[in-house]
Amino acid sequence: FWADKVASMSGGDARDWYWVAQCMYRSRQFHRAAILIRNKGLDKTQPLCQWLAGLCLLEAKQHNDALLILSNDEEVMGTNRTTTVVVATNFVIPPIGSHCILEGFTPKTLQSALLLLKGRVYEKLDNRTRAAECFKNALKHDVYCYEAFNSLVKHQMLSSSEEKELLMSLPFKEQCGENDLLPAVYEILLNKYQNLPQTPIPALPHPRLVDNLDLEAARAERLYYACAYRQCFSLTQDILKKDPYHTTCLPIHISCLVELKDVTKLFSLAHDLVDLMCDKAVSWFAVGCYYFLIGKRDPARRYLGKATLLDPLFAPAWLAYGHSFAVENEHDQAMAAYFSATKLMKGCHLPLLYIGLECGLTNNIRLAERFFREAQTIAPHDPFVIHEMGIIAYQNHDYNMAEKHFLTALAHVHEINQVIIAEKWEPLLNNLGHTCRKLNKYDDALRYHQQALVISPQNASTVSCIGFIMALQNNFSEAVVMFHKALGLRRDDSFSITMLSYVIEQLMESTPPFQGAPDTVPGFDSVPTPPSPNLEESLQTPIVLDDGRQLFEAFTPSSSPPSFEIEMQDCFQDENTS
Protein backbone atom coordinates (compact mmCIF):
# COMPACT_ATOMS: atom_id res chain seq x y z
CA PHE A 1 0.00 0.00 0.00
CA TRP A 2 2.60 2.59 1.06
CA ALA A 3 5.05 1.56 -1.67
CA ASP A 4 2.38 2.31 -4.28
CA LYS A 5 1.78 5.75 -2.80
CA VAL A 6 5.49 6.53 -2.72
CA ALA A 7 5.85 5.49 -6.36
CA SER A 8 2.98 7.77 -7.37
CA MET A 9 4.37 10.75 -5.47
CA SER A 10 7.89 10.30 -6.84
CA GLY A 11 6.73 10.65 -10.40
CA GLY A 12 7.33 7.01 -11.39
CA ASP A 13 10.91 6.47 -10.26
CA ALA A 14 12.18 3.02 -11.34
CA ARG A 15 13.45 2.23 -7.85
CA ASP A 16 10.04 2.90 -6.33
CA TRP A 17 8.19 0.81 -8.87
CA TYR A 18 10.72 -1.99 -8.24
CA TRP A 19 9.82 -1.98 -4.55
CA VAL A 20 6.10 -2.00 -5.36
CA ALA A 21 6.65 -5.12 -7.48
CA GLN A 22 8.87 -6.60 -4.76
CA CYS A 23 6.05 -6.15 -2.22
CA MET A 24 3.64 -7.88 -4.59
CA TYR A 25 6.13 -10.73 -5.07
CA ARG A 26 6.53 -11.23 -1.33
CA SER A 27 2.75 -11.30 -0.88
CA ARG A 28 2.66 -14.00 -3.65
CA GLN A 29 0.88 -11.80 -6.21
CA PHE A 30 3.17 -13.03 -8.97
CA HIS A 31 1.09 -12.19 -12.02
CA ARG A 32 0.31 -8.69 -10.76
CA ALA A 33 3.99 -7.93 -10.11
CA ALA A 34 5.06 -9.17 -13.57
CA ILE A 35 2.31 -7.17 -15.31
CA LEU A 36 3.29 -4.02 -13.39
CA ILE A 37 6.92 -4.27 -14.52
CA ARG A 38 5.90 -4.96 -18.11
CA ASN A 39 3.42 -2.07 -18.24
CA LYS A 40 6.07 0.34 -16.99
CA GLY A 41 8.58 -1.02 -19.52
CA LEU A 42 11.13 -1.65 -16.78
CA ASP A 43 11.95 -5.16 -18.05
CA LYS A 44 13.63 -3.54 -21.09
CA THR A 45 15.61 -0.85 -19.29
CA GLN A 46 16.38 -2.17 -15.82
CA PRO A 47 18.08 -5.60 -15.46
CA LEU A 48 16.99 -5.79 -11.81
CA CYS A 49 13.33 -5.41 -12.79
CA GLN A 50 13.88 -7.89 -15.62
CA TRP A 51 15.17 -10.39 -13.03
CA LEU A 52 12.20 -9.77 -10.71
CA ALA A 53 9.64 -10.15 -13.51
CA GLY A 54 11.25 -13.42 -14.63
CA LEU A 55 11.27 -14.66 -11.04
CA CYS A 56 7.56 -13.87 -10.68
CA LEU A 57 6.67 -15.72 -13.87
CA LEU A 58 8.79 -18.69 -12.80
CA GLU A 59 6.92 -18.87 -9.51
CA ALA A 60 3.64 -18.58 -11.42
CA LYS A 61 4.79 -21.57 -13.57
CA GLN A 62 4.64 -19.54 -16.78
CA HIS A 63 8.04 -20.76 -17.90
CA ASN A 64 7.69 -19.80 -21.54
CA ASP A 65 6.84 -16.19 -20.70
CA ALA A 66 9.67 -16.08 -18.16
CA LEU A 67 12.16 -17.10 -20.84
CA LEU A 68 10.78 -14.44 -23.18
CA ILE A 69 11.48 -11.76 -20.58
CA LEU A 70 14.95 -13.06 -19.77
CA SER A 71 16.00 -13.47 -23.42
CA ASN A 72 16.69 -10.90 -26.10
CA ASP A 73 14.57 -10.73 -29.22
CA GLU A 74 17.40 -12.25 -31.26
CA GLU A 75 17.63 -15.23 -28.92
CA VAL A 76 14.06 -16.41 -29.26
CA MET A 77 13.61 -18.11 -32.60
CA GLY A 78 10.09 -19.36 -32.06
CA THR A 79 7.59 -19.83 -29.30
CA ASN A 80 4.32 -21.69 -29.10
CA ARG A 81 2.15 -21.55 -26.01
CA THR A 82 0.75 -25.03 -26.54
CA THR A 83 3.96 -26.90 -27.27
CA THR A 84 6.39 -24.58 -25.42
CA VAL A 85 9.16 -24.56 -28.00
CA VAL A 86 11.85 -22.02 -27.20
CA VAL A 87 15.19 -22.00 -29.00
CA ALA A 88 17.99 -19.73 -27.82
CA THR A 89 21.22 -19.06 -29.65
CA ASN A 90 23.49 -17.51 -27.01
CA PHE A 91 23.61 -16.29 -23.45
CA VAL A 92 23.71 -12.52 -23.79
CA ILE A 93 23.30 -10.53 -20.57
CA PRO A 94 22.32 -6.87 -21.05
CA PRO A 95 25.04 -4.43 -19.97
CA ILE A 96 24.56 -2.96 -16.53
CA GLY A 97 25.44 0.73 -16.51
CA SER A 98 25.55 3.41 -13.87
CA HIS A 99 21.90 4.33 -14.46
CA CYS A 100 20.73 0.83 -13.48
CA ILE A 101 19.36 0.26 -10.03
CA LEU A 102 21.11 -2.50 -8.05
CA GLU A 103 19.51 -2.57 -4.57
CA GLY A 104 22.14 -4.74 -2.86
CA PHE A 105 23.54 -6.31 -6.03
CA THR A 106 26.76 -5.55 -7.82
CA PRO A 107 26.94 -5.64 -11.63
CA LYS A 108 28.64 -9.06 -11.49
CA THR A 109 26.26 -10.59 -8.97
CA LEU A 110 23.23 -9.22 -10.85
CA GLN A 111 24.48 -10.80 -14.07
CA SER A 112 25.01 -14.04 -12.18
CA ALA A 113 21.47 -13.86 -10.75
CA LEU A 114 20.02 -13.37 -14.24
CA LEU A 115 21.94 -16.38 -15.57
CA LEU A 116 20.92 -18.48 -12.58
CA LEU A 117 17.26 -17.61 -13.12
CA LYS A 118 17.54 -18.34 -16.82
CA GLY A 119 19.07 -21.73 -16.04
CA ARG A 120 16.22 -22.56 -13.69
CA VAL A 121 13.72 -21.67 -16.44
CA TYR A 122 15.53 -23.88 -18.96
CA GLU A 123 15.52 -26.68 -16.40
CA LYS A 124 11.76 -26.38 -16.02
CA LEU A 125 11.44 -26.49 -19.80
CA ASP A 126 13.47 -29.75 -19.82
CA ASN A 127 16.37 -28.19 -21.71
CA ARG A 128 19.06 -29.41 -19.34
CA THR A 129 21.98 -28.76 -21.67
CA ARG A 130 21.30 -25.02 -21.86
CA ALA A 131 20.42 -24.99 -18.17
CA ALA A 132 23.87 -26.40 -17.35
CA GLU A 133 25.51 -23.73 -19.55
CA CYS A 134 23.61 -21.00 -17.74
CA PHE A 135 24.61 -22.36 -14.34
CA LYS A 136 28.27 -22.58 -15.35
CA ASN A 137 28.23 -19.03 -16.69
CA ALA A 138 26.55 -17.84 -13.50
CA LEU A 139 29.38 -19.41 -11.49
CA LYS A 140 31.98 -17.74 -13.70
CA HIS A 141 30.38 -14.34 -13.10
CA ASP A 142 30.14 -14.97 -9.36
CA VAL A 143 31.96 -17.96 -7.85
CA TYR A 144 30.01 -17.43 -4.61
CA CYS A 145 26.72 -18.20 -6.37
CA TYR A 146 26.13 -21.47 -4.50
CA GLU A 147 22.63 -21.88 -5.97
CA ALA A 148 24.15 -22.41 -9.43
CA PHE A 149 26.77 -24.78 -8.03
CA ASN A 150 24.15 -26.75 -6.10
CA SER A 151 21.95 -27.08 -9.19
CA LEU A 152 24.85 -28.59 -11.11
CA VAL A 153 25.77 -30.97 -8.28
CA LYS A 154 22.37 -31.93 -6.90
CA HIS A 155 20.89 -32.71 -10.30
CA GLN A 156 24.16 -34.31 -11.50
CA MET A 157 24.32 -32.33 -14.72
CA LEU A 158 28.08 -32.78 -15.24
CA SER A 159 30.26 -35.82 -15.61
CA SER A 160 33.35 -36.28 -13.45
CA SER A 161 35.69 -34.86 -16.10
CA GLU A 162 33.37 -31.89 -16.74
CA GLU A 163 33.31 -31.15 -13.02
CA LYS A 164 37.11 -31.02 -12.94
CA GLU A 165 37.16 -28.73 -15.99
CA LEU A 166 34.64 -26.43 -14.34
CA LEU A 167 36.73 -26.14 -11.18
CA MET A 168 39.82 -25.34 -13.23
CA SER A 169 37.99 -22.65 -15.23
CA LEU A 170 36.44 -20.73 -12.31
CA PRO A 171 38.22 -17.41 -11.51
CA PHE A 172 38.89 -18.10 -7.83
CA LYS A 173 42.04 -15.95 -7.65
CA GLU A 174 40.36 -12.89 -9.20
CA GLN A 175 37.23 -13.07 -7.03
CA CYS A 176 38.35 -14.85 -3.85
CA GLY A 177 42.02 -14.22 -3.31
CA GLU A 178 44.74 -16.64 -2.33
CA ASN A 179 43.56 -17.92 1.07
CA ASP A 180 39.85 -18.34 0.49
CA LEU A 181 38.22 -21.63 1.50
CA LEU A 182 35.80 -21.79 -1.45
CA PRO A 183 37.97 -23.84 -3.91
CA ALA A 184 38.66 -26.54 -1.32
CA VAL A 185 34.99 -26.75 -0.31
CA TYR A 186 33.84 -27.05 -3.93
CA GLU A 187 36.43 -29.77 -4.55
CA ILE A 188 35.17 -31.80 -1.57
CA LEU A 189 31.55 -31.49 -2.71
CA LEU A 190 32.41 -32.64 -6.24
CA ASN A 191 34.87 -35.42 -5.44
CA LYS A 192 32.51 -38.40 -5.29
CA TYR A 193 33.74 -40.82 -7.98
CA GLN A 194 37.38 -41.08 -7.01
CA ASN A 195 38.82 -44.37 -5.82
CA LEU A 196 38.10 -44.36 -2.09
CA PRO A 197 41.27 -45.81 -0.50
CA GLN A 198 43.82 -44.35 -2.91
CA THR A 199 42.58 -40.77 -3.26
CA PRO A 200 42.72 -38.82 -0.01
CA ILE A 201 40.06 -36.28 0.80
CA PRO A 202 41.31 -32.74 0.12
CA ALA A 203 42.57 -30.96 3.20
CA LEU A 204 39.98 -28.79 4.90
CA PRO A 205 40.74 -25.07 4.77
CA HIS A 206 39.67 -24.62 8.39
CA PRO A 207 39.90 -27.16 11.26
CA ARG A 208 36.36 -26.44 12.47
CA LEU A 209 34.90 -27.54 9.14
CA VAL A 210 35.48 -31.15 10.13
CA ASP A 211 32.05 -31.29 11.77
CA ASN A 212 30.23 -29.41 9.01
CA LEU A 213 27.18 -31.44 8.02
CA ASP A 214 27.28 -30.54 4.32
CA LEU A 215 30.85 -31.77 4.02
CA GLU A 216 29.99 -34.89 6.01
CA ALA A 217 27.08 -35.56 3.63
CA ALA A 218 29.45 -35.22 0.68
CA ARG A 219 31.77 -37.78 2.28
CA ALA A 220 28.80 -40.12 2.87
CA GLU A 221 27.86 -39.86 -0.81
CA ARG A 222 31.44 -40.72 -1.72
CA LEU A 223 31.28 -43.81 0.50
CA TYR A 224 27.95 -44.84 -1.06
CA TYR A 225 29.28 -44.69 -4.62
CA ALA A 226 32.28 -46.72 -3.43
CA CYS A 227 29.82 -49.43 -2.23
CA ALA A 228 30.92 -49.02 1.42
CA TYR A 229 27.32 -49.14 2.60
CA ARG A 230 27.88 -49.83 6.29
CA GLN A 231 30.40 -47.02 6.66
CA CYS A 232 28.06 -44.73 4.73
CA PHE A 233 25.10 -45.69 6.92
CA SER A 234 27.07 -45.04 10.10
CA LEU A 235 28.00 -41.57 8.84
CA THR A 236 24.50 -40.65 7.65
CA GLN A 237 23.07 -41.82 10.96
CA ASP A 238 25.37 -39.43 12.81
CA ILE A 239 24.38 -36.59 10.49
CA LEU A 240 20.65 -37.19 10.98
CA LYS A 241 21.06 -37.25 14.75
CA LYS A 242 22.24 -33.64 14.54
CA ASP A 243 19.86 -32.59 11.76
CA PRO A 244 17.02 -35.13 11.29
CA TYR A 245 15.82 -33.58 8.02
CA HIS A 246 19.05 -32.76 6.23
CA THR A 247 17.89 -32.60 2.62
CA THR A 248 21.17 -33.74 1.07
CA CYS A 249 21.70 -36.60 3.49
CA LEU A 250 18.18 -38.08 3.45
CA PRO A 251 18.27 -39.72 -0.04
CA ILE A 252 21.67 -41.26 0.72
CA HIS A 253 20.45 -42.56 4.09
CA ILE A 254 17.32 -44.08 2.53
CA SER A 255 19.39 -45.76 -0.18
CA CYS A 256 21.69 -47.25 2.47
CA LEU A 257 18.71 -48.64 4.37
CA VAL A 258 17.52 -50.32 1.17
CA GLU A 259 20.96 -51.81 0.49
CA LEU A 260 21.23 -53.08 4.08
CA LYS A 261 17.56 -54.26 4.02
CA ASP A 262 16.73 -52.58 7.31
CA VAL A 263 12.94 -52.59 7.00
CA THR A 264 12.15 -51.39 10.54
CA LYS A 265 14.25 -48.22 10.41
CA LEU A 266 13.06 -47.43 6.89
CA PHE A 267 9.41 -47.72 7.96
CA SER A 268 9.96 -45.40 10.93
CA LEU A 269 11.83 -42.83 8.82
CA ALA A 270 9.21 -42.85 6.05
CA HIS A 271 6.42 -42.40 8.59
CA ASP A 272 8.12 -39.37 10.16
CA LEU A 273 8.89 -37.77 6.80
CA VAL A 274 5.32 -38.09 5.55
CA ASP A 275 3.99 -36.57 8.76
CA LEU A 276 6.30 -33.55 8.62
CA MET A 277 7.12 -33.06 4.90
CA CYS A 278 4.28 -34.53 2.89
CA ASP A 279 4.90 -32.05 0.05
CA LYS A 280 8.50 -33.19 -0.51
CA ALA A 281 9.50 -35.88 -3.00
CA VAL A 282 11.99 -37.47 -0.61
CA SER A 283 9.16 -38.39 1.82
CA TRP A 284 7.25 -40.44 -0.75
CA PHE A 285 10.53 -41.81 -2.07
CA ALA A 286 11.09 -43.31 1.39
CA VAL A 287 7.57 -44.78 1.42
CA GLY A 288 8.05 -46.30 -2.04
CA CYS A 289 11.41 -47.78 -1.03
CA TYR A 290 9.80 -49.39 2.03
CA TYR A 291 7.12 -51.12 -0.05
CA PHE A 292 9.73 -52.14 -2.60
CA LEU A 293 11.84 -53.70 0.14
CA ILE A 294 8.97 -55.77 1.56
CA GLY A 295 8.03 -57.05 -1.91
CA LYS A 296 4.83 -55.06 -2.57
CA ARG A 297 5.58 -53.73 -6.05
CA ASP A 298 2.27 -52.03 -6.90
CA PRO A 299 2.19 -49.72 -3.85
CA ALA A 300 5.89 -49.06 -4.37
CA ARG A 301 5.25 -47.86 -7.94
CA ARG A 302 2.33 -45.72 -6.82
CA TYR A 303 4.32 -43.86 -4.16
CA LEU A 304 7.45 -43.58 -6.28
CA GLY A 305 5.33 -42.16 -9.09
CA LYS A 306 3.96 -39.61 -6.64
CA ALA A 307 7.52 -38.61 -5.77
CA THR A 308 8.33 -38.02 -9.45
CA LEU A 309 5.19 -35.91 -9.83
CA LEU A 310 6.14 -33.71 -6.88
CA ASP A 311 9.68 -33.26 -8.20
CA PRO A 312 10.26 -34.46 -11.78
CA LEU A 313 14.00 -33.82 -11.32
CA PHE A 314 14.32 -36.18 -8.33
CA ALA A 315 16.38 -38.87 -10.05
CA PRO A 316 16.57 -41.46 -7.19
CA ALA A 317 12.80 -41.93 -7.44
CA TRP A 318 13.13 -42.69 -11.16
CA LEU A 319 15.81 -45.31 -10.44
CA ALA A 320 13.70 -47.00 -7.76
CA TYR A 321 10.70 -46.85 -10.08
CA GLY A 322 12.71 -48.74 -12.69
CA HIS A 323 13.83 -51.31 -10.10
CA SER A 324 10.20 -52.10 -9.28
CA PHE A 325 9.71 -53.22 -12.89
CA ALA A 326 13.11 -54.90 -13.25
CA VAL A 327 12.53 -57.35 -10.38
CA GLU A 328 9.42 -58.60 -12.21
CA ASN A 329 11.29 -58.96 -15.55
CA GLU A 330 9.30 -56.17 -17.17
CA HIS A 331 12.29 -54.98 -19.16
CA ASP A 332 10.63 -52.35 -21.38
CA GLN A 333 9.05 -50.42 -18.51
CA ALA A 334 12.24 -50.66 -16.48
CA MET A 335 14.37 -49.31 -19.34
CA ALA A 336 11.92 -46.44 -19.89
CA ALA A 337 12.32 -45.38 -16.25
CA TYR A 338 16.11 -45.74 -16.44
CA PHE A 339 16.26 -43.63 -19.60
CA SER A 340 14.29 -40.92 -17.78
CA ALA A 341 16.86 -41.07 -14.99
CA THR A 342 19.68 -40.84 -17.56
CA LYS A 343 18.34 -37.52 -18.80
CA LEU A 344 18.24 -36.21 -15.24
CA MET A 345 21.56 -37.70 -14.05
CA LYS A 346 24.11 -37.00 -16.74
CA GLY A 347 26.95 -37.25 -14.25
CA CYS A 348 25.82 -40.51 -12.61
CA HIS A 349 26.75 -43.95 -13.92
CA LEU A 350 23.92 -45.89 -12.28
CA PRO A 351 21.17 -45.38 -14.94
CA LEU A 352 23.57 -46.48 -17.69
CA LEU A 353 24.57 -49.52 -15.64
CA TYR A 354 20.95 -50.56 -15.13
CA ILE A 355 20.08 -50.06 -18.81
CA GLY A 356 23.01 -52.31 -19.72
CA LEU A 357 21.75 -54.94 -17.30
CA GLU A 358 18.31 -54.93 -18.90
CA CYS A 359 19.86 -55.19 -22.36
CA GLY A 360 21.90 -58.16 -21.20
CA LEU A 361 18.79 -59.88 -19.83
CA THR A 362 17.15 -59.49 -23.24
CA ASN A 363 20.24 -61.06 -24.94
CA ASN A 364 21.28 -57.81 -26.59
CA ILE A 365 24.95 -58.23 -25.70
CA ARG A 366 26.42 -55.57 -27.97
CA LEU A 367 24.08 -52.86 -26.76
CA ALA A 368 24.68 -53.89 -23.16
CA GLU A 369 28.44 -53.61 -23.65
CA ARG A 370 28.01 -50.14 -25.11
CA PHE A 371 26.10 -48.90 -22.04
CA PHE A 372 28.59 -50.53 -19.68
CA ARG A 373 31.47 -48.73 -21.40
CA GLU A 374 29.66 -45.40 -21.07
CA ALA A 375 29.09 -46.10 -17.39
CA GLN A 376 32.77 -46.98 -16.97
CA THR A 377 33.85 -43.65 -18.43
CA ILE A 378 31.89 -41.92 -15.64
CA ALA A 379 32.88 -44.25 -12.78
CA PRO A 380 36.05 -46.14 -13.80
CA HIS A 381 36.58 -47.68 -10.34
CA ASP A 382 33.06 -48.95 -9.69
CA PRO A 383 33.20 -52.74 -9.03
CA PHE A 384 29.69 -53.33 -10.37
CA VAL A 385 30.54 -51.88 -13.78
CA ILE A 386 33.80 -53.83 -14.00
CA HIS A 387 31.95 -57.00 -12.97
CA GLU A 388 29.39 -56.54 -15.74
CA MET A 389 32.18 -55.99 -18.26
CA GLY A 390 33.61 -59.33 -17.16
CA ILE A 391 30.24 -61.01 -17.71
CA ILE A 392 30.10 -59.62 -21.25
CA ALA A 393 33.61 -60.99 -21.94
CA TYR A 394 32.56 -64.37 -20.50
CA GLN A 395 29.51 -64.53 -22.77
CA ASN A 396 31.78 -63.72 -25.71
CA HIS A 397 34.01 -66.69 -24.70
CA ASP A 398 36.94 -64.37 -23.99
CA TYR A 399 37.77 -66.04 -20.69
CA ASN A 400 41.16 -64.41 -20.20
CA MET A 401 39.64 -60.92 -20.45
CA ALA A 402 36.76 -62.00 -18.21
CA GLU A 403 39.22 -63.19 -15.57
CA LYS A 404 41.06 -59.88 -15.80
CA HIS A 405 37.85 -57.87 -15.25
CA PHE A 406 36.71 -60.08 -12.37
CA LEU A 407 40.07 -59.88 -10.60
CA THR A 408 40.09 -56.08 -10.99
CA ALA A 409 36.59 -55.83 -9.53
CA LEU A 410 37.56 -58.14 -6.65
CA ALA A 411 40.64 -56.01 -5.93
CA HIS A 412 38.45 -52.89 -5.64
CA VAL A 413 36.06 -54.76 -3.35
CA HIS A 414 38.93 -55.79 -1.08
CA GLU A 415 40.15 -52.19 -0.99
CA ILE A 416 36.74 -51.04 0.22
CA ASN A 417 36.04 -53.94 2.59
CA GLN A 418 39.43 -55.15 3.71
CA VAL A 419 38.14 -57.54 6.42
CA ILE A 420 34.68 -58.84 5.48
CA ILE A 421 33.21 -59.00 1.99
CA ALA A 422 29.48 -58.29 1.80
CA GLU A 423 27.06 -60.95 0.60
CA LYS A 424 26.33 -58.76 -2.42
CA TRP A 425 29.65 -59.89 -3.96
CA GLU A 426 28.83 -63.61 -3.96
CA PRO A 427 28.04 -63.56 -7.74
CA LEU A 428 31.45 -61.98 -8.42
CA LEU A 429 33.28 -64.82 -6.64
CA ASN A 430 31.16 -67.49 -8.33
CA ASN A 431 31.67 -65.94 -11.76
CA LEU A 432 35.40 -65.84 -11.13
CA GLY A 433 35.21 -69.53 -10.24
CA HIS A 434 33.37 -70.32 -13.49
CA THR A 435 35.99 -68.44 -15.48
CA CYS A 436 38.87 -70.28 -13.82
CA ARG A 437 37.10 -73.59 -14.51
CA LYS A 438 36.86 -72.69 -18.19
CA LEU A 439 40.61 -71.98 -18.14
CA ASN A 440 41.25 -75.39 -16.45
CA LYS A 441 42.42 -73.70 -13.24
CA TYR A 442 40.48 -76.08 -11.03
CA ASP A 443 42.25 -75.28 -7.76
CA ASP A 444 41.65 -71.54 -8.17
CA ALA A 445 38.05 -72.14 -9.20
CA LEU A 446 37.47 -74.31 -6.12
CA ARG A 447 38.97 -71.64 -3.86
CA TYR A 448 36.73 -68.86 -5.25
CA HIS A 449 33.58 -70.99 -4.97
CA GLN A 450 34.46 -71.84 -1.37
CA GLN A 451 34.90 -68.12 -0.62
CA ALA A 452 31.47 -67.48 -2.14
CA LEU A 453 30.04 -70.24 0.06
CA VAL A 454 31.49 -68.57 3.16
CA ILE A 455 29.67 -65.27 2.54
CA SER A 456 26.46 -66.99 1.36
CA PRO A 457 26.23 -70.45 3.01
CA GLN A 458 22.72 -71.40 1.87
CA ASN A 459 23.30 -71.04 -1.86
CA ALA A 460 22.60 -74.36 -3.60
CA SER A 461 24.16 -73.18 -6.85
CA THR A 462 27.52 -72.56 -5.17
CA VAL A 463 27.47 -76.00 -3.54
CA SER A 464 26.72 -77.71 -6.87
CA CYS A 465 29.57 -75.75 -8.51
CA ILE A 466 31.96 -77.07 -5.86
CA GLY A 467 30.73 -80.61 -6.52
CA PHE A 468 31.17 -80.15 -10.26
CA ILE A 469 34.80 -79.09 -9.89
CA MET A 470 35.47 -82.03 -7.55
CA ALA A 471 34.03 -84.32 -10.20
CA LEU A 472 36.33 -82.77 -12.80
CA GLN A 473 39.25 -83.48 -10.44
CA ASN A 474 38.10 -87.16 -10.25
CA ASN A 475 37.25 -86.73 -6.57
CA PHE A 476 33.96 -88.56 -6.98
CA SER A 477 33.23 -89.45 -3.37
CA GLU A 478 33.37 -85.81 -2.17
CA ALA A 479 31.48 -84.70 -5.29
CA VAL A 480 28.62 -87.04 -4.32
CA VAL A 481 28.51 -85.46 -0.86
CA MET A 482 28.36 -81.92 -2.31
CA PHE A 483 25.61 -82.78 -4.78
CA HIS A 484 23.57 -84.32 -1.94
CA LYS A 485 24.02 -81.07 0.01
CA ALA A 486 22.90 -79.03 -3.00
CA LEU A 487 19.77 -81.16 -3.37
CA GLY A 488 19.13 -80.74 0.35
CA LEU A 489 19.05 -76.98 -0.17
CA ARG A 490 17.07 -77.13 -3.43
CA ARG A 491 15.35 -80.38 -4.31
CA ASP A 492 14.45 -79.42 -7.89
CA ASP A 493 18.01 -78.60 -8.97
CA SER A 494 18.15 -80.46 -12.30
CA PHE A 495 21.89 -79.94 -12.72
CA SER A 496 22.65 -81.53 -9.34
CA ILE A 497 20.31 -84.45 -10.06
CA THR A 498 21.96 -85.17 -13.42
CA MET A 499 25.48 -84.80 -12.09
CA LEU A 500 24.75 -86.95 -9.04
CA SER A 501 23.63 -89.85 -11.26
CA TYR A 502 26.69 -89.49 -13.46
CA VAL A 503 29.13 -89.23 -10.55
CA ILE A 504 27.63 -92.30 -8.81
CA GLU A 505 28.11 -94.33 -11.99
CA GLN A 506 31.71 -93.19 -12.24
CA LEU A 507 32.21 -93.97 -8.56
CA MET A 508 30.86 -97.51 -9.01
CA GLU A 509 33.25 -98.15 -11.88
CA SER A 510 36.27 -96.73 -10.12
CA THR A 511 35.68 -98.06 -6.56
CA PRO A 512 36.96 -101.62 -5.77
CA PRO A 513 34.39 -104.12 -4.42
CA PHE A 514 36.35 -104.55 -1.17
CA GLN A 515 39.42 -103.15 0.45
CA GLY A 516 42.61 -104.57 -0.99
CA ALA A 517 40.95 -106.00 -4.09
CA PRO A 518 43.31 -106.31 -7.08
CA ASP A 519 42.85 -104.09 -10.07
CA THR A 520 42.54 -107.08 -12.44
CA VAL A 521 40.74 -110.39 -11.91
CA PRO A 522 43.30 -113.32 -11.89
CA GLY A 523 42.86 -116.09 -14.45
CA PHE A 524 42.07 -119.79 -13.56
CA ASP A 525 43.55 -123.00 -15.13
CA SER A 526 41.09 -125.22 -17.00
CA VAL A 527 40.10 -128.40 -15.09
CA PRO A 528 39.30 -131.53 -17.16
CA THR A 529 35.67 -132.68 -16.74
CA PRO A 530 35.02 -136.35 -15.89
CA PRO A 531 33.05 -138.41 -18.41
CA SER A 532 29.29 -138.15 -17.84
CA PRO A 533 27.32 -141.37 -17.25
CA ASN A 534 24.76 -142.68 -19.68
CA LEU A 535 21.73 -140.42 -19.36
CA GLU A 536 19.21 -143.18 -20.16
CA GLU A 537 20.65 -145.49 -17.50
CA SER A 538 20.67 -142.78 -14.88
CA LEU A 539 17.07 -141.95 -15.56
CA GLN A 540 16.02 -145.64 -15.10
CA THR A 541 17.90 -146.13 -11.81
CA PRO A 542 15.50 -147.25 -9.07
CA ILE A 543 15.21 -145.17 -5.94
CA VAL A 544 14.90 -147.23 -2.72
CA LEU A 545 12.71 -145.62 -0.10
CA ASP A 546 12.91 -146.14 3.67
CA ASP A 547 10.03 -148.60 3.72
CA GLY A 548 11.82 -150.83 1.20
CA ARG A 549 9.67 -149.89 -1.75
CA GLN A 550 11.22 -148.91 -5.05
CA LEU A 551 10.23 -145.78 -6.99
CA PHE A 552 11.18 -145.06 -10.58
CA GLU A 553 11.26 -141.47 -11.69
CA ALA A 554 11.34 -141.02 -15.41
CA PHE A 555 12.23 -137.53 -16.71
CA THR A 556 11.99 -136.95 -20.37
CA PRO A 557 14.68 -134.73 -21.94
CA SER A 558 12.10 -132.02 -22.63
CA SER A 559 11.08 -131.66 -18.97
CA SER A 560 12.89 -129.07 -16.77
CA PRO A 561 12.63 -127.72 -13.20
CA PRO A 562 10.66 -124.49 -12.58
CA SER A 563 12.49 -121.33 -13.66
CA PHE A 564 13.90 -118.66 -11.27
CA GLU A 565 11.39 -116.04 -12.44
CA ILE A 566 8.46 -118.36 -11.60
CA GLU A 567 9.88 -119.02 -8.17
CA MET A 568 10.20 -115.28 -7.53
CA GLN A 569 6.61 -114.76 -8.64
CA ASP A 570 5.47 -117.45 -6.19
CA CYS A 571 7.40 -115.74 -3.42
CA PHE A 572 5.73 -112.36 -4.17
CA GLN A 573 2.31 -114.14 -4.24
CA ASP A 574 3.00 -115.75 -0.85
CA GLU A 575 4.00 -112.38 0.59
CA ASN A 576 0.85 -110.75 -0.75
CA THR A 577 -1.43 -113.44 0.68
CA SER A 578 0.28 -113.56 4.07
Mean pLDDT of 326-345: 88
Mean pLDDT of 361-375: 90
Domain spans in the chain, listed from the N-terminal domain onward: 346-420, 436-510+569-577
Equal fold, 346-420 vs 436-510+569-577? yes
In this structure, which topology does domain 436-510+569-577 adopt according to CATH? 1.25.40
pLDDT higher than threshold 50 for residue 89:
no
Q: For the ranges 185-199, 340-354, 473-487, which has the lowest average pLDDT?
A: 185-199
pLDDT higher than threshold 50 for residue 91:
no
Q: Which of 160-169, 200-209, 544-553 has the highest mean pLDDT?
A: 160-169
pLDDT band at 358 (very low <50, low <70, confident <90, very high): very high
Pairwise pLDDT comparison (535 vs 456), residue with the higher score: 456
Cα–Cα distance, 106 to 111 (Å, whole number): 8
Cα–Cα distance, 364 to 360 (Å, whole number): 5
Mean pLDDT of 72-84: 40
Q: What is the pLDDT of residue 576?
A: 40
pLDDT band at 36 (very low <50, low <70, confident <90, very high): confident
- Phi (first) and psi of residue 566, to 5 degrees: -65, -40
375 contact partners, CB below 8 Å, separation of at least 6: 349, 350, 352, 353, 356, 382, 385
Give the CATH H-level superfamily of domain 346-420. Answer: Tetratricopeptide repeat domain (1.25.40.10)
- Per-residue pLDDT of 520-563, as tens digits, reads 666 655 556 565 554 344 434 454 444 454 434 433 343 333 33
Is residue 544 classed as helix, strand or coil in its secondary structure? strand
Mean pLDDT of 223-243: 86
Q: What is the pLDDT of residue 199?
A: 46
pLDDT higher than threshold 80 for residue 400:
yes
Pairwise pLDDT comparison (355 vs 103), residue with the higher score: 355
116 contact partners, CB below 8 Å, separation of at least 6: 134, 135, 138, 145, 147, 148, 151
- Other beta carbons within 10 angstroms of residue 186's beta carbon come to 21
Asked if residue 350 lies in contact with residue 339, where contact means CB atoms within 8 angstroms, the answer is no
Which residues are paired to 543 by β-bridges?
551
Cα–Cα distance, 356 to 526 (Å, whole number): 75
